[in-house]
Amino acid sequence: MVREGMRLGKYELGRTLGEGNFGKVKYARDVESGRPFAVKILEKKRILALKIDEQIKREIGTLKLLKHPNVVRLYEVLASKTNIYMVLEYVTGGELFDKIASKGRLSEAEGRKLFQQLIDAISYCHDKGVFHRDLKPENLLIDAKGNIKISDFGLSAVPQHLGNDGLLHTTCGSPNYVAPEVLANRGYNGAMSDVWSCGVILYVILTGYLPFDDRNLAVLYQKIFKGDTQIPRCLSPSAKNLIRRILDPNPKTRITVAGIKEDKWFKQDYTPAIPDEEEEETFVDDEAFSIQEPTETVGSENVTTLINAFQLIGMSSCLDLSGFFEKEDVSERKIRFTSTYAPKDLLEKIEDIVTEMGYQVQKKNGKLRVMQQCKGSTSPGSLLIAAEVFEISSSLYVVELRKSHGDSLVYRQLCAKLSNDLGACKNQQLLTTEA
């Protein structure tokens, strides 16, 4: 259980900021610098029960690519046996939705500033190959200075999600903000569907209500397909013209992000945001993810050991875990590798492999506890090791091999064979600490 006052590595957790279907967001403070953060705590059991593990992987994999002043920053990801912890930028101003709800609508000057920031951020995301696909005021946070921060990339897409036709095919997003070509279910351009959603957001910012709305979904979709909306007379001709060009139901003739940036209304008092490129370069370097296995503590009580989860829950199906387990007791001589085989199949296959190599296996509590040389075997040396399997997700497991005694070279040869035959990636790098 995660409690207020708990230490999560260098972070001290505080009050709950929000709660969702699969976890909480808590205030956190870096005890060394005093800097505030928001920690999104995701319960693994709930994630698997709701079958949203791919969505979480996508959000983490996407956020670690993005370093823009108008995108919520992901600084670090940690994991324990029960939870995943996303250390995020702390944004204090609430949602754009709440701001509009309280004010009714924003002035064109104020609305334009927020829209410029939104387009800047989306342009940056698209340049990185990331399409948000769920843009709406609820996913736009406001910081203490009144600037927009895009959040919630759980439905985002990257180039790997494109079909053979170069288009996206997953229908997703919120009904009132989704583009007509997404609803048509014939494939769509992620950038142009995001532009449509930005247009709906601009309309809401300047009017205080939705351009397309109906309690009956069928009627709502008809309105969206037709681009059937009325633009209030109170808006300036330039603002109305831009909205019409964005809410064009035909994605081929709809204005692009580049076109929006050249629009007369948009360009007023426009200062482009500058991405944090220098910080990005250091952030994505492998050494930046090298965590010294921090510990969750309450007072002096150790709760669980944490591991750096960037490589573990990244988007690649063939995970690079190099540098993942940084701090081992060298006396344990552990070697780990990942596999996609189920635990029962893994243990059976390990038993078959080592038996063929001339070793005996003793089973205990459903685990392979001991492997030793068979009598009269020509196997090259004796070993005493234990094998254990840990579940990371419904389709990914870590095999841990621990040597009690025996020849180190023989041990590594055996581990290399097991990793090559059973690993998630052929010839993957073994994770090891040798005495």
Catalytically active residues, by annotation = 134
Q: What does the buried/exposed string (b/e) look like for 67-86 if buried means 16 or more CB atoms within 10 Å of the residue's CB?
A: bbbbbbbbbbbbbbeebbbb
Q: What is the DSSP string of 288-313?
A: GG-----EEEETTEEEEE-EE-TTTT
The sign of the dihedral angle between the CA atoms of 34, 36, 40, 41 is positive
Distance CA 129, CA 367 (A): 44
Q: Give the list of residues 6+ apart from residue 321 with CB closer than 8 angstroms, or none.
A: 311, 312, 336, 338, 428, 429, 431
Pairing of strands 396-406, 383-393: antiparallel
3-state secondary structure of 7: strand
Amino acid occupying residue 41: I
Q: What is the DSSP string of 368-417?
A: EEEEEEPTT---SS-EEEEEEEEEEETTEEEEEEEEEEE-HHHHHHHHHH
Q: Is 40 annotated as a binding-site member?
A: yes
Rounded to 5 degrees, φ, ψ at 142 are -115, 130
3-state secondary structure of 62: helix
Distance CA 376, CA 373 (A): 9
- Taking Cα atoms as reference points, which of 262, 9, 228 lies closest to residue 123? 262
Q: Give the list of residues 6+ apart from residue 382 with CB closer than 8 angstroms, or none.
A: 372, 373, 406, 407
3-state secondary structure of 286: helix
Give the residue ranges of the annotated binding site.
40
Give the residue ranges of the annotated binding site for ATP.
40
